[in-house]
A and B are shown apart, each in its own frame.
Chain A
Amino acid sequence: MTEVVGIQHFMVLSTLMFFIGVYGFLTRKNLITILLSIELILNSVNINFVAFNKYLYPENLGGHFFAMFVIAVAATEVAVAIAIIISLYRKLKMIDVENVNEMKY
């Protein structure tokens, strides 16, 4: 059976995910959505890692490990981000990113 799914497919998928994530990060006002966008960006990177590992260096496991690391770091990052969002909500009664501008000049 010929390979119908090649590395190009994975790359297209991850590129799409990445730019969807960047777009969401730049345009959404809700902090939760922004967080989701960051997750999209991270996962597009994960897909790249695993795909390159699988297709180019199948005898190595480096890409897989890296993907695991990214997932672990993303989990902690989410925990911190949610904590920040909760405390912001307690303070401002909203989680709109445009209103979080206390650190300006």
Chain B
Amino acid sequence: MENFYYTLIIPVILFFTFVFTGLLGRKFKPLFSGMVCTASIFISTALSWYTAYQYFFVQGKVDGAYKLINVFNLEWLRFNETLSIDIGILLDPISVMMLVVITTVSLMVHLYSLGYMKGDPGFSRYYAFLSLFTFSMLGLVLSVNIFMTYMFWELVGVSSYLLIGHYYDKPSAVSASKKAFIVTRFADLGFLIGILLLSAYAGSFDFNELTNPQGSAILQSASVTFMGLSAVTWALILIFIGCAGKSAMFPLHIWLPDAMEGPTPVSALIHAATMVVAGVYLIARLFPLYIFTSPQALEVVAYVGAFTSLFAAVIACTQTDIKRVLAFSTISQIGYMMVALGVSGYGGEEGLGYMASMFHLFTHAMFKALLFLGAGSIIHAIHTNEICDMGNLRKYMPVTHITFLIACLAIAGIPPLSGFFSKDEILVAVIEKNFFLFIVQYIVAGLTAFYMFRLYFIVFWNKEKKYEHEPHESPSIMLITLVFLAVCSAVAGFIPFSEFVTSDGLPFVTHIHMKVAVPTVTLAVIGILTAFFLYKKESTSPDKIKISLGLIYRSAYRKFYIDEVYMFVTKKIIFNMISVPIAWFDRNVIDSSMNGIAAATNFISEKIKYLQSGQLQQYAFVMVAGMILIFLLTVYLITL
């Protein structure tokens, strides 16, 4: 049996590229750095596809089921007999699937950026960070050990921070990058505590051990309880908080819309296709643990996911910044994935939700990356993000128009595009478990179709606006990537996903369920038609609806004031109640006691420095006098 050692090259080559371009990028022409990074991501992509082929079609199957393959496992830090932090590579259906998604989207973004970022002063820095990001994301999905995941998880956060803040001379970009970093760091605190709790009660960091349904971690862990829930449930909920931070679930979603300050290809790569689904990925990775030890934690996942998807979809209908609409749509779609995971069972047909979630992750990566890159193409042409300043662009940008339309149809769930299949699986999985959640997701499906086509009609149809210069179609390197992703989004749905990625590795066959598919597609078409009538031509009816909705519209437009709530909590409560007293204590108690000690020392030494006269005989006299004194004292004490 051939081994998979070459998978090590996939992330490592990108790390070396990062070091190379990061350190030496200034010495070469910017385009050279871009070429080096693109070449290495190309090698990674080729290897990933080869790995996927080898895993899914040649070697991965043992007795009809896909097995975990531990390519290698290097012990790094050992705590006791069972607990150690390892570095290694783990291949299983979801990690191989993620490998393909990440490298493919990253390759597209690398190519696209060659056109989009042309002439940018930070060109080689940008490429270095793209390499760093892709490296850390690949490390994240390939890790064998939850602690290794955590390390790469943080690295991903750092590279996201660096890339959001790419235009570091723009104050809004700087504050957006800080916000993203702080919010996700805050969530990662939960993740870290969750890991520690989990390792304490389940006794392992190792995914092999943790996710084995017959393993000791699952069988022995339910013993300790706290506030009515077992310790492992708490650990898993805490880990979910980390996932919610990364995947922008309510109420930790606030960083993602702001993260759109970064360059658009970055939004496509990090904030649509790869990093934000890391949370979904991690829950899928720990799925056996969730399902066997704490269904309650999974329920939390499902309800948070459902609420977030509805919440974000409503906001997306009101936003006017093209990238923000897409950002809220991303949040909403990730909510879908979370719901699917949350309602899923384990094994075979029961695990439909798990498979559907991964399927949606896969297709969503394709069409959302396409949407972002299409938006980037538009922004590249007319230099604004506001959809109010766009209109009738189909005349000027035919390729962007067609690819964007395909992506919109895909996300709206129109057959036979990819989004239809994955969304259908999710809805089937949900309707079998929980009818209430199904209703929520069903409404969200309609809203998705509506807001995507609102965007589409406003940007590409509607009335032509005044542009600074004639809008032009983007360079061909950008169009190639758009077309490639459009093809992927169109055909990805025909992949028989359930034969590759399932909760227990056993393939099964899925069918399209007409009783779910027909109403969903009908609703999506209704959404599209509504958008068509409202936004196809310029009309006053959208404004009338805005006014009649009044408060609801305004609060949705202001994103339900979540940001304001955060500002209130941090500025008014935390600053005044905690930070100000601590600052006072620091300045007045700690600092002044230190200053007092220094001042006393200074004062005393000023006084006694005259003892140091430099007169040899004075010293000698003091010495002799002291000796005589000691002598007399000794004699006195002895004779006493």
Contact = CB atoms under 8 A, between A and B. Distances in A.
Interface of A: 22, 25-27, 97-98, 100-105
Contacts of A25: 617, 620
B613 A26 contact: no
A26 B614 contact: no
Contacts of A102: 614
A28 B508 CA distance: 110
Contacts of B609: 105
Nearest to B627: A22
Nearest to B621: A26
28 contacts: A22-B624, A25-B620, A26-B617, A26-B620, A26-B621, A26-B624, A27-B617, A97-B615, A97-B616, A97-B617, A98-B615, A98-B617, A100-B614, A100-B616, A101-B613, A101-B614, A101-B615, A102-B614, A103-B612, A103-B614, A104-B613, A104-B614, A104-B615, A105-B609, A105-B610, A105-B612, A105-B613, A105-B614
Contacts of A97: 615-617
Interface in B373-403: none
Given A98-B615, A102-B614, 6 more contacts: A25-B617, A97-B616, A97-B617, A100-B616, A104-B615, A105-B613
Nearest to A103: B614
A91 B511 CA distance: 106
Interface in B599-640: 609-610, 612-617, 620-621, 624
Nearest to B624: A22
Nearest to A23: B624
Interface residues of B, number: 11
B532 to A, nearest CB: 92
Contacts of B613: 101, 104-105
Contacts of A27: 617
The 6 closest A-B pairs by CB, nearest first: A104-B614, A101-B614, A105-B609, A105-B612, A103-B614, A104-B613
A88 to B, nearest CB: 11
Interface in B296-352: none
Contacts of B624: 22, 26
A96 B430 CA distance: 104
Interface string B112-134: 00000000000000000000000
B441 to A, nearest CB: 84
B620 A104 contact: no
B617 A104 contact: no
Contacts of B616: 97, 100
A40 to B, nearest CB: 14
A97 B615 CA distance: 8
B279 to A, nearest CB: 67
Most buried by B among A26, A102, A103: A26
Nearest to A31: B616
A100 B613 CA distance: 10
Nearest to A29: B617
A27 B616 CA distance: 11
Most buried by A among B612, B614, B620, B624: B614
Contacts of B615: 97-98, 101, 104
A96 B614 CA distance: 13
Nearest to B616: A97
Nearest to A104: B614
A34 to B, nearest CB: 8
A26 B628 CA distance: 14
A105 B606 CA distance: 10
A100 B619 CA distance: 13
Contacts of A98: 615, 617
A101 B637 CA distance: 38
A3 B22 CA distance: 97
Contacts of B620: 25-26
A97 B619 CA distance: 12
Contacts of B614: 100-105
A70 to B, nearest CB: 19
Contacts of B617: 25-27, 97-98
